[in-house]
Amino acid sequence: MNVGIFDSGLGGLSVVREISQSFKGLEIFYIADTAYAPYGDKSEENILARCIKITHSLIKKHKIEALVLACNTATSAAIRELRILFPSMIVIGCEPGLKPACLLSKSSKIGVLATSLTLNGKKYQDLEKELSLSKNVSFFEQACPGLVEKIEEGNINKTKDMLTKWLLPMKNKNVDTIVLGCTHYSLVGEVIKQIMQYKITLIETSKALANRLMELSLESGHINEGLLTIEIFYTGKININMVNMIFKKQEKIILGKYEI
Ligand code: DGL
């Protein structure tokens, strides 16, 4: 099965890594849309148009049968329309894991880090309201402008000051669970744990996304046998050291520039 996966940059590679660990017989075509990053401070209309363009390109060049939006921001802005536009294709995306956080939190105080587009999106707002009432939990949200850029540069150490400022209100509220509502933020999970100082649970959704892709692909006839290959493309710049750090010594990765 040919699978197209994209994000604004490196963040979605944690999703690719997760998928590549549980699947066989896939050809993965990943686009890091760095020419257009960050997505989080753009308008929904802008991101939707970009997602449609990327999807058309992946279908034309790589004949993809499944599309994974490895980006919470793109999912919030575009998944509904993409499913309408491409009804015969598997289309899945990622959303901040508020539900698993409610199950795991003991204090019922949950921090959420995401882009402002995701936090202000209707999808997030509706879910947050529903869970706050039905589960009697409090969510403490924080957008993180500038964080994606630092991660893309590979400046993980330089994220500490900005994260310390954003996490302080969560610390003061004694949140025991933090939802990583942007795929990039998984790459600074250790920094977040260090700053919080006490034990917290970090919630990310790449495993759930990989499981869902498995379910849908088996339903559509994928036999899950044979080689898995990953090709990574980028539209702007990419930090190859960061790519190597994410994949360690895992399988073949071909890097190339992509024109959309
Ligand atoms: N990694 C993305 C997400 O999950 C996008 C971040 C951005 O480009 O602002 O939301």
Catalytic residue annotation:
71, 182
Distance 254 CA to ligand 1 centre (A): 23
Question: What confidence tier does 254 reach under pLDDT thresholds 50, 70, 90?
Answer: confident
Looking at beta carbons, which pairs linking 152-160 to residues 24 or more positions away fall under 8 Å?
A: 152/9, 152/10, 152/34, 152/37, 152/184, 152/239, 152/242, 153/239, 154/239, 154/241, 154/242, 156/187, 156/188, 156/191, 159/188, 159/191, 160/191, 160/194, 160/195
- Does the pLDDT value for residue 252 go beyond 70? no
Whole-angstrom distance, CA of residue 189 vs CA of residue 160:
11
Q: State percent of the chain over pLDDT 90.
A: 94
Distance 148 CA to ligand 1 centre (A): 7
Helix, strand, coil percent values for the chain (each to nearest 5): 50, 20, 30
- Does the pLDDT value for residue 73 go beyond 80? yes
Cβ atoms of 118 and 90 closer than 8 Å:
no
Mean pLDDT of the chain: 96
pLDDT in tens, 36-69: 999 999 999 999 999 999 999 999 999 999 999 9
Question: What confidence tier does 201 reach under pLDDT thresholds 50, 70, 90?
Answer: very high
pLDDT in tens, 125-170: 999 999 999 999 999 999 999 999 999 999 899 999 999 999 999 9
pLDDT in tens, 87-121: 999 999 999 999 999 999 999 999 999 999 999 99
Ligand 1 atom showing the smallest separation from residue 8 Cα: 8
| pLDDT value at residue 23 | 96
Ligand 1 atom showing the smallest separation from residue 73 Cα: 10
To test the pocket of ligand 1, the residue of 7, 92, 188, 204 to mutate (highest count of ligand atoms within 8 Å of its CB) is 7
pLDDT in tens, 174-191: 999 999 999 999 999 999
Reduced to 3 states (helix: H, G, I; strand: E, B; else coil), residue 179 is strand
- Does the pLDDT value for residue 35 go beyond 70? yes
Distance 175 CA to ligand 1 centre (A): 23
Please report, as a single letter, which amino acid is at residue 70: A
| pLDDT value at residue 43 | 96
Distance 12 CA to ligand 1 centre (A): 8
Q: What is the pTM of this model?
A: 0.96
Domains and CATH numbers, the chain: 2-94+206-257 (3.40.50.1860), 98-203 (3.40.50.1860)
If we measure between CA atoms, which residue out of 90, 111, 114, 89 comes closest to residue 101? 111
Q: What does DSSP assign to residue 44?
A: H
Q: Where are the alpha helices (DSSP H) in 63-205?
A: 72-85, 98-104, 116-120, 122-134, 147-153, 160-172, 189-196
Whole-angstrom distance, CA of residue 95 vs CA of residue 70:
9
If we measure between CA atoms, which residue out of 175, 3, 141, 164 comes closest to residue 72? 141
184, two tokens? 């990039």
Distance 225 CA to ligand 1 centre (A): 32
| pLDDT value at residue 253 | 80
Residues with CB under 6 A from ligand 1: 7-8, 11, 37-40, 71-73, 115, 118, 148, 182-184
To test the pocket of ligand 1, the residue of 184, 187, 188, 209 to mutate (highest count of ligand atoms within 8 Å of its CB) is 184
Ligand 1 atom showing the smallest separation from residue 70 Cα: 4
